[in-house]
Amino acid sequence: MSILGTWDLTVRTPIGSLAVVYTFTETAGTVRGTAAGKGETVTVTDIAIEETSAGSHVTWRQSVTTPIRLNLDFDVTTAGDELTGHSRAGRLPRSGVTGIRRTAAGD
């Protein structure tokens, strides 16, 4: 699955850009994920992956408490070691998301 690995993401929000490190792993056919940034690490839930000839279309959810308590929905596409898409927190405007997968030497 092309989402597996460690990713350095930038989420461009109305209050500024946030740097977040995502890690996606697979165990016994189940993909799990975590997001670490701003002093907290949270579990990524409801991961759904659709493989395409160009990469993967991936959605997931997570909750954060920093800088404020929010429930976030992500919708991204991977192409090789690059990721683009958006996140949304309830009725707030969508936030652009970009990312680069870390190489083994960069982990």
Q: Are the CB atoms for 72 and 62 separated by under 8 Å?
A: yes
The residue segments making up the domain with residue 69 are 5-106
- Give residue for tokens 């309830």: 90
Q: Tell me the two tokens of residue 83.
A: 């990721």
Residue ranges with strand state E in 28-101: 30-37, 40-52, 55-64, 70-79, 82-88, 95-101
Examine the pLDDT at 107 and tell me if it is beyond 60.
no
- 28: alpha, beta or left, given left = phi > 0 and alpha = psi -120 to 50? left
pLDDT of 38: 82
Rounded CA separation 74/41 (Å)? 16
The pLDDT tens digits for 28-82 are: 999 999 999 988 999 999 999 999 888 899 999 999 887 778 899 999 999 999 9
pLDDT of 67: 72
What is the pTM for the complete model shown? 0.90
pLDDT of 90: 86
pLDDT of 105: 61
Structural domains in the chain (count): 1
Rounded CA separation 101/73 (Å)? 20
pLDDT-derived band at 1 (thresholds 50, 70, 90) equals: low
| CATH (domain of 101) | 2.40.128.120
The pLDDT tens digits for 97-106 are: 999 999 876 5
